[in-house]
Amino acid sequence: MDTQKLHEYIKPSCAAYNKENLLLLSDLCLYLGFLSIIASVVTWFTASRENRAYGERFGIFIGLWVPSFFILSNRLSRKADELPDTLADEA
């Protein structure tokens, strides 16, 4: 297999895979985790009396997103720390 052709083919996608972008995504996931906590509590307490059970279940469902966002944020941050400042250093 010609690895040079493969490298040229995937080069545009590799350019987006850098330390700055991973740290940006990590921060975004962290903020979304905290936003999910707030949205879960707000959804839980603002449910109408007629649909109280639905509001409680939906609040719990939103609350389940929190650990996923926090874990993803942590993993992206760790991966960004493992990368060199630029991918050109590896080539």
- The pLDDT tens digits of the residues spanning 53-72 come to 888 899 999 999 999 999 99
Its pTM stands at: 0.74
pLDDT, residue 6, reads: 63
Q: Rounded to 5 degrees, what angle do the CA atoms 8, 14, 16 make? A: 135
Single out the residue of 14, 7, 29, 13 nearest to residue 78, CA to CA.
Answer: 29
* Average pLDDT, rounded, for the chain: 85
Contact (Cβ atoms closer than 8 angstroms) between residue 69 and residue 35? no
Which amino acid makes up residue 57?
A: R
Q: How far are the Cα atoms of 7, 29, 63, 89 from residue 34, in angstroms, in the given order?
A: 39, 9, 10, 36
- pLDDT > 70: what percent of the chain? 78
54 neighbors 34 (Cβ within 8 angstroms): no
Domain ranges of the chain: 24-83
Q: What is the pLDDT of residues 32-53, one digit of tens each?
A: 999 999 999 999 888 877 888 8
